[in-house]
Amino acid sequence: MKHLNNQPLPLFHLVIPCYEESKRLPSYLSELASLLKTKEYRTHILVVDDGSSEAERKKLRDTLHEMRKNNDFIVEPLFLECNRGKGFAVRSGWSAGGSASWLAFADADGATPAQEVVRVFDMIIAHNDSSRCFFGSRIRMLGRSVERHWKRHVTGRIYATLVGFVINESIYDSQCGFKVVPAEAFKMICSILKEDRFAFDSELIAALSDAGYQLEEIPVDWQDIPGSKVSLLKDSARMVKSLFYIRKRRKKWMLSNRDS
């Protein structure tokens, strides 16, 4: 086993939540596998199917069966009985992280390119700092490529402003589908995470901040991929409503921690 500063190299546990993703997931998973197998550090990839149809599950099983022949770090997939949402899928996958040092998730559509996932993992290895959490961020800046439909960009900016206003967390991009947190951080906060769907990211940010972790946004390349399951109207309304539930629960967390 390779070592860093006389310590075993960290194990990353990368969860890919998916729902009806037999078309978009295979190429992304193949790219991730080909890049990660060249690294000295270890990574487990766990695909969590969030209640897809039986036909989709069969396609996923067949795809993963073939890929696992040459990539033993792609572990047996987790199939949830019914569709509960991205947040529930990520929590379920992270809870199966075992002895991992770092827990990550990346959306199945490949909007955060495989090379960006690996670049951030490399950066984490170089810094070796388990007091920080790393969130992908779709910031348009020199050296980064962000291709995003203007409606989704505007909606995202409005939502990020609401995150700052409602739960008092200043973050440029709360919803980018790529995040990495220390396993110990998730163990500390997992019992208070309740959001099953897309507001999960916002609740995760609030809980990690309250637990004393430093939150760092990492600009990543990003590209809109056709076939998104997110409804700009319906899901955005749900997420805004959830922010107020998060704020209410957060007050209870803070009171409970103060009194304990």
Q: Which residues contact 69 (CB under 8 A, 6 or more apart)?
A: none
Q: Could you read off the pLDDT of 11-38 as tens digits, one per residue? A: 999 999 999 998 899 999 999 999 999 9
* Lowest pLDDT segment from 3-17, 38-52, 106-120: 3-17
Which helix (H) or strand (E) is 234 found in, with range?
helix 234-259
The model's confidence at residue 255, banded by pLDDT at 50, 70 and 90, is low
Tokens of 195: 């959001």
> Nearest Cα to 116, choosing from 138, 148, 149?
138
144: containing domain: 3-259
* CATH number for 11: 3.90.550.10
Confidence check: pLDDT of 256 > 80:
no
Residue type present at position 258: R
Distance CA 167, CA 165 (A): 6
Tokens of 57: 């599950």
> Nearest Cα to 101, choosing from 69, 136, 73, 125?
125
Beta carbons of 101 and 10 less than 8 angstroms apart: yes
Give the pLDDT mean for 98-120.
95
Distance CA 67, CA 75 (A): 10
pLDDT at residue 186 in the model: 97
Q: Could you read off the pLDDT of 151-202 as tens digits, one per residue? A: 676 776 777 777 777 776 778 888 888 999 999 999 999 999 999 988 899 9
In a 3-state reduction of DSSP, which class is residue 146?
strand
Tokens of 211: 């637990």
Distance CA 156, CA 100 (A): 31
Which helix (H) or strand (E) is 256 found in, with range?
helix 234-259
State the total domains in the chain.
1
Where is pLDDT greater, at 192 or 254? 192
To the nearest 10 degrees (0 to 180), the angle between helices 25-36 and 54-68 is: 20
Q: Which residues contact 192 (CB under 8 A, 6 or more apart)?
A: 207, 249, 253
* Lowest pLDDT segment from 38-52, 202-216, 228-242: 228-242
Confidence check: pLDDT of 205 > 50:
yes
